[in-house]
Structures are given as structure tokens and as C-alpha cells.
Amino acid sequence: MVSGTERDPKTGAISKERRNVMAYATGSVVSRIEWCRRQKKQARTPLEFAGWRAEEEGLRDAILKTDHTKQYRQSPPAVFERYAMGLQDGQVLMRATSVVVQFDASPDNNIPG
């Protein structure tokens, strides 16, 4: 089974499988970020705009493995909730993709389709 953390013993480079998982997971979150950007352009109120921006930043933080929750606690509750939702959704997408790819790469994955 691909552990997701395999490295080349000689060079210490991340394995091809791990790079593929990271690229796929990042792509899923980036698609969602792009969607937030499109929605932000159509926002009708400053609060709606701030919500889309916060969700976008939460998704970006999930990719970068950073957390700006403390900064968003000072925002209006609706904006804070959107940041938290983006961060949590992004983290789940990153983890779920990793699990699916690891399962697909497992030599024990002989389940008939």
C-alpha cells in the first residue's frame, strides 16, 4: 500500500505516487477557489463579497497548511463561518483525495467492479 509519505532512500525526494496525490488534491481545491472568485465578482453586498473572499482564503490555507482563524474571529460571524467552512472543506478534500488514491494503489485492492 502506498503510504503517501514514501521517499527515495538515496535522494530523499518525494515519491511519484505522493506527488500525484498532492497534485490531484490541490487541483480539486484550486477548482473550488476559482469558483469562489467567480462568485465574488457577482457579489451584491460588501458582506457577500467578504464571505466569498474568506471562503477562498480558507481553501488556500488548506493547501498551504496555514490557519488564519484567529484573524477571522474579529470579522462578522457570517464571514468567520465562511472562512472556517473553506478551511475545513479544503482540508477534507486534501485528506479524502489522499485516502482514495492510497486505496486505489493498494495491491490488495482486488474488489471486482
For all residues of the chain together, what is the average pLDDT?
80
Give tens-digit pLDDT for 31-83: 999 999 999 999 999 999 999 999 999 999 999 999 999 999 999 999 999 99
Would you state the pLDDT for residue 104? 53
**Running DSSP on this structure, what letter comes out for residue 14?**
B
Average pLDDT over residues 11-19: 61
Residue type, 97: T
Rg (CA), the chain: 17
Give the whole-angstrom CA distance, residue 6 versus residue 84.
31
In this predicted structure, the answer to whether residue 15 has a pLDDT above a threshold of 90 is no
Give tens-digit pLDDT for 81-94: 999 999 999 999 88
Would you state the pLDDT for residue 95? 82
> Which residue in the block uniquely carries the three cell numbers 532512500?
9
Domain locations along the chain: 16-102
